[in-house]
Amino acid sequence: MRIGFIGLGVMGGAMAAHLAKGGHNLALYDIAPAAARKISRRHKGARTADSPREVAEASEVVFTMLPEGNAVRACVFDPDGLAAGFKRGSILVDTSSAEPWLTRETAVRLVEHGVAMIDAPVSGAAEGARNASLVFMCGGEAAALKRVRPLLALMGKHVFHLGPVGSGHAMKTVNNLATALTLLGTTEAMLIGKAYGIAPSAMLDVLNVSTGRSFVTDVKFGPQVVERRFDDAFRLALMLKDVGIANRLADDQGLGVPVSALGEQLWRAANAALGEGACVLDVVRWYERATGVELKD
């Protein structure tokens, strides 16, 4: 199939590579041209394009993997955007973690161009993108999703259809809010344990066979925190965005969610203190500085 891929960063680069290995022809675009060139050099059948319009002209299905929904909207509707190049019957699959309300707007405008949109954000982190074990959380029409399922299968292990367009992006924010609050709660709990005198690696051994176990304790805290790597490929600013989307959805529906609201304040403060390049696990270092307690053995 002729496929377009826009946004070839940590996640998109690895995902596009799986599509190329699956034997598909790829048109690639990233505002940072080196990111697209890196994939086209390694994979026969993958070439770079000069604009999203050119990508759409060359493709039946276009994937986007961009930081958030405004970037997706710009990529679709800017003068040299996808909408200017899409043929009727094409499909846009937005795998970014984006705002459901922007996604719905984009999808409605694309209907005028005869293009179906699927939101299909992912869970599984950089490792999941590399190993093709991502979880896709999809919204949109069943018929369009059916057409792209074989492509999703090249990049992931699970595909869930959650409802109309926007539902996938809403689900993604549910997942990331749960992860973000777990990360803060686990950090605070382990700081208390360390201050009492228990070694962080011993705490992880217990948590990982007890009710406090999570993705955070099982996968992230050992290598990232106890071993002091702090080089996770998920940027803290992206986690803050996801928590903000969740709280906006709660507000829109008149739901009081005090822990989530406080969580957003904490992520916002950490992001302001740590700056642009911080990774999601740096929030632990931010706590460590504030408390004077370090989660190392």
Q: Enumerate binding residues for ligand NAD (CB under 6 A).
A: 6-12, 30-32, 35, 65-68, 71, 74-75, 96-97, 122, 125-126, 233-234, 238
Q: How far is the CB of 68 from ligand NAD (least distance, A)?
A: 6
The nearer residue to ligand NAD, 29 or 191, going by C-beta atoms, is 29
The nearer residue to ligand NAD, 36 or 203, going by C-beta atoms, is 36
The nearer residue to ligand NAD, 22 or 67, going by C-beta atoms, is 67
Long-range contacts of 268-271 (CB under 8 A, 24+ apart): 268/240, 270/236, 271/236, 271/237, 271/240
Q: What are phi and psi of 23, to 5 degrees?
A: 95, 10
The nearer residue to ligand NAD, 121 or 193, going by C-beta atoms, is 121
Q: How far is the CB of 121 from ligand NAD (least distance, A)?
A: 6
Single out the catalytic residue among 172, 194, 220, 241.
172
Q: Is 21 a catalytic site residue?
A: no
Q: Tell me which residue has its CB nearest to ligand NAD.
A: 9
Q: How far is the CB of 151 from ligand NAD (least distance, A)?
A: 17
Q: How far is the CB of 206 from ligand NAD (least distance, A)?
A: 27
**For the chain, what is the largest distance between any 2 Cα atoms, rounded to a whole number of angstroms?**
64
**Enzyme catalytic residues:** 172
